[in-house]
Amino acid sequence: MKKIKMTVSGRVQGVGFRYMTKMVADQIGIAGIVRNEDDGSVYIEAVGPTDKIDAFIAAVKRSPSPSGKVEAYDIHEDANIENYISFRVTN
C-alpha cells in the first residue's frame, strides 16, 4: 500500500474539483480524503496500491474537473496517513 498527501493549486476551488476528484478515486479504487484549504489550494490524502495511486496522481495533475486547472502540486509519501476505507470530501 502506498500512502500519499498531495496539495494542488491553480483553478481548483469553485469548479467541482473535489467532487470530480472523489469520482476519479472511486473509479480507480483509491481511499482517502479531499478538502479545500483557506489559501485556495486543495489537500488530498490517498491510500491504495502503488499502480492505482500513480494513476490517481496522473488524473489529479490533469484536473478531474473540466473547468479546473492544476498549476502546481506537491506530493509526499507519508506512512502515518490513516488506512481509509473509502474516499470522501471532508469540507
Query: Which residues participate in catalysis according to the annotation?
Result: 18, 36
- By the 8 A CB rule, do 72 and 8 touch? yes
d(CA 78, CA 40): 23
The strand ranges marked E within the chain are 2-11, 31-36, 42-48, 69-77, 87-89
